[in-house]
Amino acid sequence: MAIKLVREFKQNQQLSITPQLKKSIDLLQLSRLEIINKINNEIDENPFLKKDFEVESVGSFDDTNLLENLPNELTLQNHLEAQLEDIRLNNAEKKIALAIIQSLEENGLLQLDLDEIEALMEYSYSIQEIKNVLKNVVQDLDPAGIGARNFKETIYIQLRKKDIPTEELEIANKILFDPKFSSFEDAQDDLTKYYSKDSIESVLEKIKKCDLSPGLEFESTYLIQPDLEVIPDSNQDFNVRFKQDNFPLISLDQDLEKQVKNKANKANKQLKEKISEAKWLIRAINKRNETVQNVGTLICRIQADFLSDRSAELKPLSNVELAKKLKISPSTVSRILRSKYIQTPKGAVSMKSLLASSVSKTRKVTPMQLMEEIQNIVESEKKKLSDQKISDLLNKRGFNLARRTISKYRKKINLPNSRNR
């Protein structure tokens, strides 16, 4: 036993993070803009690195210091907070609205659960109060779609604010939120029994034109630079490629390397270290870009129906699932997803926003899908069903959900329990 513990201790020591491994991890986390800045700085400091082509200037300032020279532009948070000044709110409503605004992702969506915001506000306000402010205040701000909790909701908010005909809004609601429709095609086939074909097609066209990331218009365009680009092909599939535009290709200056290769003085030892560092950086950047492309390609393949406008629903997909399929660690996936964007037919979207958690271990179902299922069961119930009864009904269909899970998501959609319905 003691020998085994010693062996395990030695193995753990061997797995400790080396300086080069730490630098590789740091590179994975960098956004496109940050890594371009990093490459430019390394070229300035290492004479053995050369740029194979000049990066086109992004904006009117010096591209070697992109991060330091960003213009001071209006942020999404500032824009939303300024709008609150024109709305008559009591003190509590304003505090809640500010807390929600400060919790928004850069794309303008709210990915925190309402109970997390409740906790952030130290339980000073109820989930119901927070939900009311979210729906009646924050989601009514411009740009349309702000404060939505998923892509479906941001689409619906935008359609609602466009003042489209009541019938079209009704059709949109069914297409987006009726759980029996797994695709736009399914919805179209079913809804033609009740609505005209022209009305349905008009709604689908409006859905496809909605902005999935309304908050990005307030992010500096210098910061939102997609690493990847989705190119639709003739088979309604996608090719995902790394965007070479404005990305510096670097290589080793072999002529300079030859000049110092066979010399053995102290100065040349330092130069040889620079050569090793240059070679490592070239390999590490290529590996970083390859890994970003592999992760992005898999995400786009899994979410192809969503990206090609065949569905408004993201499929459940987690860091762990991506890691298993790509045979890399979940922590590597998490680092890759940080501040990475894909240019899609729907515009630039963050890679992270194309993931959706599953609330069931035996069946892939997103929180949104579960809330829709609960809503439908409650609306069609002939007698009041307890959370346990709802759980039993769903479990017969393979959901494998505990009563407390049903209770949690029932509360999120503001449905009272069976005694109070």
Domain ranges of the chain: 16-69+223-357, 76-214, 367-420
Alpha carbon 195 to its chain's center: 35
Asked, as a colleague might, if the bond just before 143 is cis with ω within 30 of 0, I would say yes
Is residue 245 helix, strand or coil? coil
pTM over 0.85: no
Query: What residue spans of 303-329 are helical by DSSP H?
Result: 304-307, 319-326
Please give the pLDDT value at position 57: 42
Please give the pLDDT value at position 223: 64
Q: What are 241's strand-pairing partners?
A: 229
Give the CATH fold of the 367-420 domain: Arc Repressor Mutant, subunit A (1.10.10)
Q: What whole-number distance in Å separates Cα of residue 207 and Cα of residue 173?
A: 11
The pair of structure tokens assigned to 192 is 């033609």
pLDDT < 70 stretches in the chain: 1-17, 53-74, 219-223, 234-237, 262-267
Please give the pLDDT value at position 83: 93
Please give the pLDDT value at position 192: 92
Q: What whole-number distance in Å separates Cα of residue 370 and Cα of residue 388?
A: 15
Please give the pLDDT value at position 399: 86
**223 contacts: CB under 8 Å, gap ≥ 6:** 31, 33, 70
Query: What residue spans of 162-235 are helical by DSSP H?
Result: 166-177, 184-191, 197-208
pLDDT tens track for 341-375: 999 887 888 898 899 877 777 777 878 788 888 88
Please give the pLDDT value at position 384: 87
Report the relative pairing of strands 228-232 and 341-344 from DSSP bridges. Answer: parallel
DSSP, res 227: S
